[in-house]
Amino acid sequence: MALITLSASLTAHAQSQSDYGGVGLMQMPTARMQPQGTLSLTYADNDAFRRMSVNLQVFPWLEATARYTDIRYEKYSLDPNFSSQSLKDKGVDVKLRLLQETQWRPEIALGWRDMGGTGLFAGEYLVASKQFALGDHNNWGHLDITGGIGWGYLAQRGNINNPLCHVADRFCQRTDTTKGTGGQFEIDDWFSGKTAVFIGLEYQTPHAPLSLQLEYDGNDYTNERFENPIDSTLTKPPVKADSPWNWGAKYAVRENLTLGLSYQRGNTLMFNISVKADLSHNPMPQQSPKPRAYHVPDDKHQQTIGTDKANELSLLSERLQNEVGVELNAVQQNQHRLTLFHNDHSDFRSHQERIERSTRILANIAPNEIKSYEWVSVNHGMAVRTDTVNADEFKATLLGERFNQPLSRTVKSHNSSDAIQQGEWLWRKQQAFPNWDLDVAPRLKQSIGSAEKLYFYQLSVNPALTFNLTPRWQFKSEWGINIVNNYDEFNYFVDAYESDLPRVRTEVRKYYDAQDIWVERLYSRYTAKLTQNWYGAAYAGYLERMFAGVGVSVLNRDFASDFAWGVDINRVQQRSPDSALGLADYRVWTGHITAYYQPSRFPNELFKLAVGRFLAGDEGAQLSYEHKFDSGTIVGAYAAVTNVSSQEYGEGSFTKGVYISIPFDLFSVKPSQSRAAVGWQPISRDGGQMLGRPVSLYGMTDSRNPFYNEQ
């Protein structure tokens, strides 16, 4: 009987979160990864430190973590008028899987902690993990053994010499200081200085929710920050290690909720809680209407359709709206072709499902003499794509005459033209212009990591009134009504950091505090399809909370192309925070040339590069990256680097941030194209800031090569 067996697969609860938020043991990391799309929120607490982290498994081989550490024994500032809270440190971690585990080979990963923050907890590591099944038929559980080598904060114990010293002398010393104003990648320090070996094991007990952990810590905690102690009687940091061994237990209360308790450094109890969500799959069963069945019409019914087209097409419009959420605008017939113009929006994120459901409805109404259905998608008066359906093939497929051929094989998608086809207009929707639409939505604006308080917020309700003068020309007014906020707890409106840059964003506190009712936006915009692959927009008014002005943008986007590019030019003036419609003195020309790349080989990835002038007059580029999971959830990151030096920019060195966009139907049983977005920008300074333009031509033409919705 084999008592120990090599294993290459992990059990359901083996990938626990460390106190730092990434997959690991307690203080030390492992080489393990979560399933792709797993989002984890972790809170870890002991006497000296409190850590709050967000961890995301972006790819099977890439893990990213953002974290705030509350250093409870340190003051944020010695000036109580500036800040009275304890020190909060921001950090970003990344872990890359180099080799995947096999029966004989361990999983190996390379990682960085606190790689883009202040460097207080910065460190690098190379780690390997191997799992063993215990007992006959694994009835004794699993044992996951980890061993690694660390640098920086993970290696203050310094129990081995740095092997990279034999490669180059620069690896022998580490500065352990932060360049400039922080926020940069301290590449010169990576894998240098003190080095330590760490080991650990995790025993997954036969009782599946419970796992036990033991680790040898590579950090001896002799180099902790100690500059502004809250307790003036302290002469050294209240963090010491009486033992290098940490031990603890994790218990999975539910599949997405894990509690942890550990005893660390030989003197400290640590508690943590981790909540997980799967962004790769939609957990809600969708309760959409069953697709309409196709019934072969008899001769009598076919004749009725031919003599009463207007009523039948009105019925078609009603069914499309009720069953698919498609708004039909007009129908035209040219011999054996039926062309249907409809708004580029529906209840379904999948464009293919929209077309198939709509065609099922149409096939029950259109006469047999029609051999081709053309669905023309129109967004704000601009035709963005055409889907042509072979009517006979579609019907035969529905009747099972094509040996399980998918309906998608009967549909061909191609470019659209605004030119009116030659033919007879059978029906047009009675659209009276101008018309109007009222929408009311909640808004949450937040600031994390400020000097006075960790979290500032403003919850408002924003009614928006839109007047449509024509399908292409709109007037929109959006107001904000404050419900609750804590921005009155600011100690100052503008920080004391001296910079030559205009205050285009750092005066944001004034805007949040000055008014309980404000004009968020008040503008007019006009959109048009200029040629076959060119789209344009013009806009003027109060474009965002902090700027008003005029602008134009154009976009070149070939149908189903990986590439697109556009240009926007804007002349804007800063708004006054003290009045609803007042303006300040600052004016600037701002605009960018933006390239978009959505590789057909990797359709769930989108890259954007915008080069031009930013709001503060600085010039440079912003690079953005977005990844879409199978559930439709999108995560993105961006960074802007301009001709402003890190010293002139201020804390953070350059503008950067992350965001997540979640489809509403992940929380509802009904399908929807609507989304909610949340962003995090560690430091909001004035350099590298872009105008919040009220129109995105790339988003409006998404159907030409769907990313934000589905193909």
CA distances (Å), origin 655, targets 229, 375, 642, 682, 686: 30, 43, 9, 9, 8
Please say whether the beta carbons of 327 and 362 come within 8 A.
Answer: no
Give the per-residue pLDDT at 177: 65
Distance between CA 657 and CA 636 in Å, rounded? 8
Could you tell me if 19 and 27 are in contact, meaning their C-beta atoms sit under 8 angstroms apart?
Answer: yes
pLDDT along the chain (711 residues), means of 10: 50 73 96 95 92 95 94 82 80 96 95 84 96 82 95 94 92 74 74 96 93 96 85 83 96 94 96 93 75 75 55 89 91 91 88 92 90 93 93 88 76 72 79 86 83 83 94 95 85 66 85 86 96 96 96 97 97 93 96 97 96 95 95 92 80 81 81 82 84 95 91 65
CATH of domain 435-704: 2.40.160
CATH code given to domain 4-278: 2.40.160.40
DSSP assignment, residue 115?
Answer: T
Angle between helices 309-323 and 351-363 (to 10 degrees): 150
Q: Are 156 and 140 in contact (CB under 8 A)?
A: no
pTM here is 0.90
SS (H, E, C) 475-536: EEEEEEEEEEECHHHCCCCCCCCCCCCCCCCCCHHHHHHHCCEEEEEEEEEEEEECCCCEEE
Question: Which amino acid makes up residue 486?
Answer: N
Contact status, residue 543 vs residue 694, Cβ threshold 8 Å: yes
Residues 551, 572 contacting (CB under 8 angstroms) = yes
Say what the pLDDT of residue 306 is: 52
Query: For position 497, what pLDDT does the model report?
Result: 61
Burial of 584 from C-beta contacts in 10 A (0-12 / 13-18 / 19+): middle
pLDDT score for 11: 42
Q: What is the pLDDT of residue 83?
A: 73
Q: What is the pLDDT of residue 148?
A: 97
Closest residue by Cα to residue 275 from 295, 302, 246, 255: 255
CATH 2.40.160.40 in the chain, residue ranges? 4-278
User: Who contacts 520 (Cβ-Cβ below 8 Å, separation ≥6)?
Assistant: 462, 478, 479, 480, 544, 545
3-state secondary structure 226-254: CCCECCCCCCCCCCCCCCCEEEEEEEEEE
- Give me the phi and psi of 614, to 5 degrees please: -95, 180
